[in-house]
Chain A
């Protein structure tokens, strides 16, 4: 294996595939000056797919962008609670990563095993080494489960796919008058309104099961997002079905016996849905982009470049980054555009911290949560770069929630998700 990314086999393949093949690859020294820049994006979720797409849409046509993901398609967590009540099928949420090829993104089906920041290359599970000028790491989140927990016996369904189907089947097989227990980890976790939305969706499904209950064990001191709507939904709409308990932390799980042991005693359920504590993705942690004792990757929100020494050419976007912005598909898309813009400017030798550019760095969040089978609520906020603290801050007045639910919101939820998916994957 060589330290020169230009000499690696897969790098050469990419060069040959993407450029006309007229370049003299036998003369790498002369080639270097004229070599197109290469950005490698690892992970094809909302963050990675948006970054790859916008790098090609905005970048010089010679810019080479490779998206590496072990899967052929991404299954969207956004809207996946609607699989639980069969409003949607899993395949409605599946987006082939080949959709990005039309923009000139090279899609590589592989897993990044190792990142070498000094050599500016990654090692794939195929054994190949691929060089980069800039590396973008994503991968969402990984979980730290309580003692005795397994995703097979107490599904999280917090990454859409087989887990979602498993949880749906459990809910549908629940005995008459049974109990559904779900646990919410301490913030930050992905999709702040998501767990409360799920409680409503499951409670709605269980309307047809007299005596059935939804016990929500929240490690936080209260509802973390869209609080007015969810408080009203829990207390009015689903009163007698949803039993919401704040400040309850899971200690261990005995799924076979249906037991969840917590700091507030033991709870017994027929279906157990554990959403465990979150941290940065395995990919980001394997790359060494998360310091010891921390759960997230420290980055500069002007570029999402890692702030760790030696990691200047590595960017982390989406759920794994640690700027404190909410973790969601919509926000991952937003950050990816700031990151893509920064990478293009840096590769062009331009600065990313002029006053004008700094004042163009914003992200925003908008999302809908189904409350009933045909009504939804919404939540929104705009984040701007704070020149004094160097952090992304909510702009006053922009943070708001619907404070209720409506059929109109439910219809708009599908327009929102469809546009978000299209902007990200198509």
Chain B
């Protein structure tokens, strides 16, 4: 299961995404690493079910390499009031829009796993 390169690969795209964001927002350099690390911490809470670095061990969707907008849309849809009866519909209600954006940013920055 262990890809020794995963850690190195995984951080780069986040920083690239964040760098692009920083160009737009004018955030200082230090905030870039912080944002990526905050996103990583938030996203790691999905890994109990969706796998380390978003690569599932099977049966549950991998999140690594998801489309950013697709993931945000799915989470926002599932989180709508009245959407009930499924674990993810309630998990989705547990996060703010800002948190969902960070989580999606993180998984979108990872290489897509082979087995989806």
Residue B69 is within 8 A (CB to CB) of chain A in the complex = no
Residue B91 at the chain A interface, CB threshold 8 Å: yes
A391 nearest CB across to chain B (Å): 16
Kindly state the separation between the CA atoms of A419 and B41 in the bound complex, as whole angstroms.
18
Cβ-closest chain A residue relative to B88: A380
Q: Could you say which of B39, B79, B93 has the most chain A C-beta atoms within 10 Å of its C-beta?
A: B93
Closest to A368 in B: B87
B68 contacts the other chain (CB 8 A): no
Q: Is B29 in the interface zone, CB < 8 Å from A?
A: no
Q: Does A381 contact B (CB under 8 A)?
A: yes
13 sampled A-B residue pairs with Cβ under 8 A: A54-B44, A330-B48, A337-B41, A357-B37, A359-B98, A359-B99, A360-B99, A363-B45, A397-B93, A415-B49, A419-B56, A419-B60, A423-B57
The reply on A77 being an interface residue by CB < 8 A is: no
Task: Tell me which of A364, A396, A397, A426 contacts B48 (CB under 8 A).
Answer: A364
Residue contact B45 to A364, C-beta cutoff 8 Å: yes
What sequence of 0s and 1s flags, for each residue 50-86 of chain B, a beta carbon within 8 Å of any chain A beta carbon? 1111001111100000000000000000010100110
Tell me the complex Cα distance, A53–B1, Å.
13
A343-384 interface (Cβ within 8 A of B)? 345, 354, 356-357, 359-364, 366, 378, 380-384
Q: Give the bracket for the number of chain B residues in contact with chain A.
A: 35 or more
> Is A228 close to B, CB under 8 A?
no
B35 within 8 A of A: yes
Task: Give the A-B contact count at a CB cut-off of 8 A.
Answer: 124
Q: Is B90 an interface residue (CB 8 A)?
A: yes
Q: Which residues of A contact B49 (CB under 8 A)?
A: 366, 415-416, 419-420
Given contacts A57-B52, A356-B35, A419-B48, contact A384 B94 (CB under 8 A): yes
Taking the closest CB of chain B, its distance from the CB of A328, in whole angstroms, is 10
A414 touches B93 (CB 8 A): no
Among candidates B47, B58, B94, residue contacting A382 with C-beta atoms closer than 8 Å: B94
Contact A341 B41, CB 8 Å, known A356-B35, A416-B60: yes
- Tell me which residues across on chain A come within 8 A of B85, comparing CB atoms: 402
Is there contact, CB below 8 Å, between A397 and B90? yes
Give which listed residue, A334, A419, A423, contacts B58 with CB less than 8 A.
A419
In the complex, per-residue mask of A404-426: 1 if CB is within 8 Å of any chain B CB, else 0: 00000001101110111011001
Closest to B35 in A: A356
Q: A362-B99, A415-B60 are in contact. Are A354 and B93 (CB under 8 A)?
A: no
Whether a CB of chain B sits under 8 angstroms from the CB of A144 is no
In this assembly, does A399 line the interface, its C-beta being within 8 Å of a C-beta of chain B? yes
Interface centre among B38, B45, B50, B89, by most chain A C-beta atoms within 10 angstroms, is B45
State the 3 A-B residue pairs at the shortest beta-carbon distance, nearest first: A382-B94, A415-B59, A398-B94
* A283 → B minimal CB distance (Å): 24
Known: A102-B2, A416-B49. 11 other contacts (CB 8 A): A356-B35, A359-B99, A364-B48, A366-B91, A382-B93, A395-B94, A397-B81, A400-B84, A411-B59, A415-B58, A423-B47
Q: Is B50 a contact of A419 with CB atoms below 8 Å?
A: yes
Which B residue's beta carbon lies closest to that of A53?
Answer: B52
B40, chain A: closest CB distance, angstroms: 7
CB <8 Å contact, B41 and A338: yes
A103 at the interface (CB under 8 A from B): yes
| A383–B42 alpha-carbon span in the complex (Å) | 12
Given contacts A382-B94, A397-B93, contact A419 B45 (CB under 8 A): no
CA distance A419 to B91 in the complex (A): 17
Interface contact A58-B52, CB-CB below 8 Å: no
Return chain B residues, CB-CB under 8 Å to A338: 41
Q: Which residue of A lies closest to B30 (CB)?
A: A350
A64 near B: Cβ within 8 Å? no
Query: Once bound together, how far apart are the Cα atoms of A354 and B33, in whole Å?
Result: 13
Closest to B40 in A: A58
A357 touches B95 (CB 8 A): no
CA distance A330 to B45 in the complex (A): 10
- Closest-by-CB residue of B relative to A362 is B45
Asked if B90 and A360 make an inter-chain contact with CB atoms under 8 angstroms apart, the answer reads: no
Interface membership of A323, Cβ < 8 A = no
State whether A362 and B94 are in contact (beta carbons under 8 Å apart), knowing that A356-B34, A423-B48, A426-B1 are contacts in the complex: yes
With a cutoff of 8 Å between Cβ atoms, the chain A residues found around residue B96 in the complex are 359
Cβ of B104 < 8 Å from any Cβ of A? no
Q: CA separation between A378 and B91, bound complex, in Å?
A: 12
B54 to chain A, nearest CB (A): 11
